[in-house]
Structures are given as C-alpha cells and as structure tokens.
C-alpha cells in the first residue's frame, strides 16, 4: 500500500447527520486538497435573493471561502474554495439565512422563472414555480432535468431549451368595432405580422404567438384579452447538442401544468435508457422524446 499517497488523498467529510438535513455529496464538489466548492440556493424556490441573504453570502465567502461567488445560469450561488474544516459552519450560516445546498447532479435542477415585476408578463409565474420547486426540486432523475417558467413569449428564462418549458400566453380578440382612420398602432406593435387590417377592421391571423403586445397598443379598446393560460414545451436542451422543446399543450391552467410535469418526470424515470456507447450515462429527457416521439413518451405506462 502506498501510505504516502493515501495520506495525501482527500476524503470529503460530509456534515454530521442532523447538522443540515438533506446535504448531498453532489452539491459539494471537491476541487483540491481540503477545499470544496459549495452550491446553494433559496428554498422554497426563489431566484430572487434578499439583501439579508446576500449579506450572509458575503460573510460566508469572506470567512470561509476565497472572496468569490459565481451566479450559475440557473441562479444557483456557487461558493468556491471553502476549506473542509469550515464546511459545517458555512452550511449552518447559509441554512439560517434560508439558503440550502442543492441544484446539482442527476436531479431536477433549480427551477427558473422570470422576476415577478416585469411589466410584459401575461401571467405571473413565480408561485407556480414555487409549487413545482416544493414538489419536484432535487428529485433524483436519470440525468439532469431543467424546468423553466416564462411570463411571456419573450422567454427570458429560456423555456424553449429546457427539458420542460412553461410560457404564459394570452389569446387576443378583435372586438369588431371600426378602427380609427389610418391607425396601424397594433400592427406596428406586433413583431410577428399576425394582424391584418381590411375594410376598417382588424383580424388576428394564425401567426399569433399569444404575446398580447397589441392589446396595450390600441387606445380605442378594440382588442381584448379573451383568455390566458400556459404553453408547455417538452424535450428541449442546452449543452453540446441543442434541442428546442416540442409543444405538448396550449392554454392549460396551473394544475394542468403540475400534472403534465408530474407525468413527464414519471415517464422519464420509466423510459430513459443509456446513451449510445455508455453503460453509465443515461439519456437526457429530450433524447428519450427524440427516440420515442412525444406522444409515446407522454403515454402513461405501468410502474
């Protein structure tokens, strides 16, 4: 046995049971001798951090880390170069401030939503994001799963390239009144060429993506919101290969969104195989959708 080598090796000592419930090795990455990177995020889901939490982060990185913090693309805070001996103390201080380890490995990653104050939002998405986080965040999966919510079709939270993407949408209706002469305001406001004007009236055509930008543009009140709901995309992905999610449902409500997410995750658990040429790495959700087709993927199957 090579004693010298063994003495130099690093064994991650996880926090004692009961110190912080739910700390997993995947959330703590060994990067060097007795040094770790720590991932943390607010629970239940918030990708908004309070000033108090940011103060805690500052204290933790100054006391136990190297004075740096990285904000990941899914709004996890990554604190690099924490000394092993300080791991318990760092986790405790974060925990007291409502910051938990999580959002890494082959699991449902940090749920990503738009901020609630954006004036373009067709419907708020943060509460739905919190419900999804409370039910599904950090659940073990065959590979990582990203779930994103966008308040409008701009998709700032990248729902199109997430395993499951949810976008708030609204259906606009032309009230049928006569337009002001020469007015083109709604037509100019629509980025998709989805409004035609003939004979002094407007008509919405099938290029509409339900963003509702035209409604505010009409000062005559001739355009109304008929209904709002969510569009659900399944099977998108970012990374070395990029996929856009396929549309699974439109104009569904909050509880249907939860049901669809539950069904998609359950199908993924049952139907994921190994990636070609690998006996360890499992397919991403989008790869299973590509192999089976979306309808077959979403079909209920026995446990």
Q: Can you give the binding site for ligand SF4, defined by CB under 6 A?
A: 114, 118, 120-121, 150-152, 154-156, 172, 179-180, 183-186, 189-190, 192, 194-195, 197, 202, 204, 208-214, 217-218, 220, 222-223
Phi-psi region of 219 (alpha: psi -120 to 50; beta: other; left: phi over 0): alpha
The nearest distance, CB 153 to ligand SF4, in angstroms, is: 7
Residue listed under structure tokens 């997430």: 162
Q: Which is nearer to ligand SF4, 19 or 209 (CB)?
A: 209
Q: Which is nearer to ligand SF4, 60 or 202 (CB)?
A: 202
The nearest distance, CB 169 to ligand SF4, in angstroms, is: 8
- Two tokens, residue 22: 């739910």
The nearest distance, CB 129 to ligand SF4, in angstroms, is: 12
Q: State the DSSP H helix or E strand holding residue 285, giving kind and residue range, or none if neither.
A: helix 285-292
The nearest distance, CB 272 to ligand SF4, in angstroms, is: 30
Strand partners, 171: 227
Q: Which is nearer to ligand SF4, 28 or 223 (CB)?
A: 223
Distance CA(16)–CA(58), nearest Å, equals 24
Shortest CA distance to 94 belongs to which of 61, 123, 66? 61
The nearest distance, CB 230 to ligand SF4, in angstroms, is: 13
Residue 38 phi, psi (nearest 5): -120, 130
Q: Which is nearer to ligand SF4, 156 or 258 (CB)?
A: 156
Q: Which is nearer to ligand SF4, 36 or 152 (CB)?
A: 152
Distance CA(223)–CA(186), nearest Å, equals 9
The DSSP 8-state label assigned to residue 82 in this structure reads: E
Distance CA(147)–CA(136), nearest Å, equals 10
The nearest distance, CB 122 to ligand SF4, in angstroms, is: 7
The nearest distance, CB 215 to ligand SF4, in angstroms, is: 7
Q: Which is nearer to ligand SF4, 145 or 214 (CB)?
A: 214
CB 109 within 8 A of CB 55: no
Q: Which is nearer to ligand SF4, 48 or 184 (CB)?
A: 184
CB 69 within 8 A of CB 54: no
Distance CA(194)–CA(88), nearest Å, equals 57
Shortest CA distance to 83 belongs to which of 110, 50, 58, 60? 60
């Amino acid at each position: 046995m090579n004693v010298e080598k063994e003495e130099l090796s690093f064994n991650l000592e996880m926090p004692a049971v009961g110190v912080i419930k739910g700390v997993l090795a995947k959330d703590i990455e060994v990067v060097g001798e007795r040094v770790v990177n720590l991932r943390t995020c607010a629970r239940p889901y918030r990708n908004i951090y309070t000033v108090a939490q940011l103060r805690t982060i500052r204290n933790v990185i100054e006391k136990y880390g190297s004075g740096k913090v990285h904000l990941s693309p899914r709004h996890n805070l990554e604190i690099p170069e924490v000394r092993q001996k300080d791991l318990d103390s760092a986790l405790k201080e974060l925990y007291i401030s409502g910051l938990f380890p999580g959002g890494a490995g082959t699991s449902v990653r940090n749920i990503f939503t738009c901020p609630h104050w954006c004036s373009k939002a067709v419907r708020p998405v943060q509460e739905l994001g919190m419900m999804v986080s409370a039910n599904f965040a950090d659940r073990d999966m065959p590979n990582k799963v990203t779930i994103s919510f966008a308040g409008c079709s701009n998709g700032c939270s990248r729902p199109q390239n997430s395993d499951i993407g949810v976008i708030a949408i609204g259906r606009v209706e032309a009230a049928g009144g006569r337009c002001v002469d020469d007015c083109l305001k709604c037509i100019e406001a629509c980025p998709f060429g989805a409004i035609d004007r003939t004979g002094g009236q407007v008509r919405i055509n099938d290029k509409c993506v339900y963003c509702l930008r035209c409604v505010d543009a009409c000062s005559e009140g001739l355009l109304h919101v008929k209904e709002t709901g969510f569009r659900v995309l399944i099977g998108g992905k970012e990374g070395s290969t990029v996929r856009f999610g396929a549309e699974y449902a439109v104009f569904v409500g909050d509880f249907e969104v939860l049901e669809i997410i539950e069904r998609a995750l359950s199908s993924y658990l049952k139907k994921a195989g190994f990636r070609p040429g690998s006996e360890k790495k499992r397919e991403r959700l989008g790869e299973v959708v590509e192999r089976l087709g979306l309808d077959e993927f979403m079909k209920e199957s026995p446990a």
